[in-house]
A and B are shown apart, each in its own frame.
Chain A
Amino acid sequence: MTTPSRPGGAMVEFSGVGLRYGPDAEVLSDVSFNLQPGSFYFLTGASGAGKTSLLKMLYLAQRPSRGIVRLFGEDLVNMPRHRLPGFRRRIGVVFQDFRLIPHLSARDNIALPLRIAGVSEEDLAGPVGEMLSWIGLAERADAFPPTLSGGEQQRVAIARAVIARPQLLVADEPTGNVDPDMAMRLLGLFEALNRLGTTVVVATHDIHLISRIENAQMMRLEKGRLSDPTGALRYPPNRA
């Protein structure tokens, strides 16, 4: 199913996007949607439906094989490579497999986006400390990822994704390894960021999670094609 896009003011615009890896069949076909600034989206679908591939295009790890992708109003398909880092700094990503740097402490992993952006050590100490306290790992700030539990690693990964206050937050199964209580706290963090204006896209299988966020919209991928069960994508609410 192809969802028609509504141009104008969208933070993300996909139009007729297809993606294939090598000579194989397309893993995503004719995907079209708009993500409005400050909205909250859940992306669902069975394993292998193409969720991760779609997210990879959202966080600029993959260019589409065809179609148009616009992010923050700019064409990303033909964008020169050297301009991508500037866009990536406006996007926070929570990876399914965390991708923490194993020889960096939890504190250094969380501080990484700020350091890459050139924030001074003096200026980043406060936010990193607050973030560590918020995810309940202040006591384990100097611990290295291999010594952290799966849930703790996931919290560090989420903290790293949101520390730089991204305009777009993309999370791939962000609560898959935490207990229900922590899942709700993390979702609360996403919601808080969303209220501050961050557009949030969460890929999840957890139907209970979806029901917890008021006004969240749902995108469903089925065999590489996007469906729109709520109609929200077709007529997104004005949250400005």
Chain B
Amino acid sequence: MIIPRVPAQHRRLLPDRRLSGPTPWVIAILMLLTLLAAAAGMGLARSANAIGSAIAGRVTVQIVTANPVTRAEQAAALRRAAAAQPFVREARAVEQAELKATLGQWFGSEDGSEGGDDPVLQSLPLPALVDIDFVGEDRAGHMNQLRAVVSREAPGARIIPHAEWLGPVARLIRSLAWVAGGLVVLMTLASAAVVIMTARAALGTHYATIEMLHMIGATDQQITRLFQRRIAIDTAYGIALGTVVAALILLLIGWQWSGITSGLAATASLGATGWALLLALPLLAIALAALTARQTLLAALQKIL
């Protein structure tokens, strides 16, 4: 049992000084940091997975033929030919206006807007782009088939797999997720260490009582239950406090996040599973604390005759 049942008369064997020591507060801080790190880790992992699956099957074909008319014709022919392939889910020609609008964010416009009507931009020979999404997982096979289609419809065009330039970003996000996971493990170990120190300190503080209890025939289990209950309750207070504060912070961040609907940030949500795991963490922490306290106490009592 996580918090063992101890008769009320036996509980009085330990003086009632709940929340007077630093343990609940240290545990609260560690729990807060653990939950924030876990939430960040899960959000980043989901983001990395979303980016990974989004980029893994997408390529952009860049047609750089000098003649703009030929370039447009090749783009249209390639889009049609690609769309007709069974391994292609979708083929989309990127509109020139869309390209100019994107570049206009850097070039600007005559009137200062981002419309992309800057004279320099207007004079630039922009390539024709065709975005192609593959079906299924056979990326290498699909690439070979696409190369054949491209060389037929738009000779000289370049095929740019999105994984080539977004892959490092996804890997970085995944690394950050692992770092967050590592922090969760470290803080869990730190919490266990705090519980071990608390248990040992409690044994030291109440050594005379423990010795007396032993002398009148108390078993290790009776004594352990007494201390385990106290430590588990103190720890539970800390965990509850840390959880409440973490929940408030995460809800606030979630509320602010909900306004972000584009880019990488939009993929970094926790999801139902993430929230369920976050809610399970405090319960696991209480169980871990109780188990750690029990093992520490039993090991320490074994050293006393």
Could you give, for residues 11-53 of chain B, a 1 whenever the CB lies within 8 Å of some chain A CB and a 0 otherwise? 0110100000000000000000000000000000000000000
Q: Are B217 and A115 in contact (CB under 8 A)?
A: no
In terms of DSSP, what is the predominant structure of the interface of chain A? helix
Interfacial chain A residues near B12, Cβ < 8 Å: 103-104, 108
Which of B212, B222, B302, B305 is within 8 Å of A101, CB to CB?
A: B212
Min distance, Cβ B216 to any Cβ of chain A, angstroms = 5
CA distance A160 to B212 in the complex (A): 11
With contact pairs A101-B209, A104-B13 given, residues A84 and B305 touching in the complex (Cβ less than 8 Å)? yes
| Candidates B211, B212, B217; contact of A86 at CB < 8 Å | B217
Given A101-B209, A115-B9: A88 in contact with B15 (beta carbons within 8 A): no
Expressed in whole angstroms, the Cα–Cα distance for A111 and B12 within the complex equals 12
Across-interface contacts of A81 in B (CB, < 8 A): 302, 305
Q: How far is the CA of A86 from the CA of B219 in the complex (A)?
A: 9
Choose from A82, A86, A108, A113 the contact partner of B216 (Cβ within 8 Å): A113
Q: Does chain A have a CB within 8 A of B215?
A: yes
Asked if A93 is at the interface of the complex by the 8 Å CB criterion, the answer is: yes
Give A1-29 interface residues, CB cut-off 8 Å to B: none
Interface presence of B214 (CB below 8 A): yes
**Is the Cβ of B215 less than 8 Å from the Cβ of A61?**
yes
The answer to whether B217 and A101 have CB atoms under 8 Å apart is no
Q: Cβ of A230 < 8 Å from any Cβ of B?
A: no
Given contacts A59-B215, A60-B305, A99-B211, 15 further A-B contacts (CB under 8 A): A60-B215, A61-B211, A84-B305, A85-B214, A85-B217, A85-B219, A88-B214, A89-B217, A99-B212, A101-B209, A101-B212, A104-B12, A112-B213, A113-B216, A113-B217
- Whole-angstrom distance between the Cβ of B223 and the nearest chain A Cβ: 10
Q: Which 9 A-B pairs have the closest CB atoms?
A: A89-B217, A88-B217, A103-B15, A113-B216, A85-B217, A85-B219, A116-B218, A99-B212, A101-B209
- Give residues in B with beta carbon < 8 Å to A: 7, 9-10, 12-13, 15, 208-209, 211-220, 222, 302, 305
Do A62 and B305 form a contact, CB below 8 Å, given A101-B209, A103-B12? yes
Q: B305 near A61 (CB under 8 angstroms)?
A: yes
| Chain A residues whose CB sits within 8 angstroms of the CB of B212 once the complex forms | 99, 101, 112
Residues of B within 8 A of A93 (CB): 215-216
User: Do A88 and B302 form a contact, CB below 8 Å, given A99-B208, A101-B209?
Assistant: no
Residues of B within 8 A of A101 (CB): 13, 208-209, 212
With CB as the reference atom, state the residue of chain A lying closest to B301: A81
> Taking the nearest CB of chain A, how far is it from the CB of B79, in angstroms?
81
Is A63 among interface residues, defined by CB-CB distance under 8 A?
Answer: yes
B contact patch SS: helix
The distance from the CB of B4 to the nearest CB of chain A, in whole angstroms, is 16
Q: Which residues of A contact B211 (CB under 8 A)?
A: 61, 99
**Residue on A nearest B206 in the bound complex, by CB:** A101
Say yes or no: A88 contacts B305, CB within 8 Å: no
Of the A-B pairs whose beta carbons lie under 8 Å apart in the complex, a sample of 25, sorted by A's number, is A59-B215, A60-B215, A63-B305, A81-B305, A85-B214, A87-B217, A88-B215, A88-B216, A88-B217, A99-B208, A99-B211, A99-B212, A101-B209, A103-B15, A104-B13, A108-B9, A111-B9, A112-B212, A112-B213, A112-B216, A113-B217, A115-B7, A115-B10, A116-B217, A117-B217
Complex contacts, B9 vs chain A, CB 8 Å: 108, 111, 115, 121
Q: Mark A143-178, 1 if CB is under 8 A from B, else 0.
A: 000000000000000001000000000000000000
Chain B residues with CB below 8 A from A89, complex form: 216-217
Which listed residue, B209, B213, B220, B305, touches A116 by the CB 8 Å rule?
B213
A120, closest chain B residue (CB): B7
CB distance from B57 to the nearest CB of A (A): 64
Q: Mark A53-89, 1 if CB is under 8 A from B, else 0.
A: 0000001111100000000000000000110111111
In the complex, which residues of chain A have a beta carbon less than 8 angstroms from the beta carbon of B218? 85, 116
Query: What residues of A have a CB within 8 angstroms of the CB of B10 in the complex?
Result: 115
Instruction: Report the minimal beta-carbon distance from A222 to chain B, rounded to whole angstroms.
Output: 27
The interface residues of chain B lying within 8 Å CB-to-CB of A112 are 212-213, 216
| A89 → chain B closest CB, angstroms | 3
Bound CA–CA A148/B10 (angstroms):
22
Min Cβ gap A143→B in Å is 15
A98-149 CB contacts (< 8 Å) to partner B: 99, 101, 103-104, 108, 111-113, 115-117, 121
Would you give the shortest CB distance from A74 to chain B, in whole angstroms? 15
How far, in whole Å, are A108 and B215 apart by their CA atoms in the complex?
16
B49 to chain A, nearest CB (A): 52
Nearest chain A CB to B217 CB, angstrom units: 3
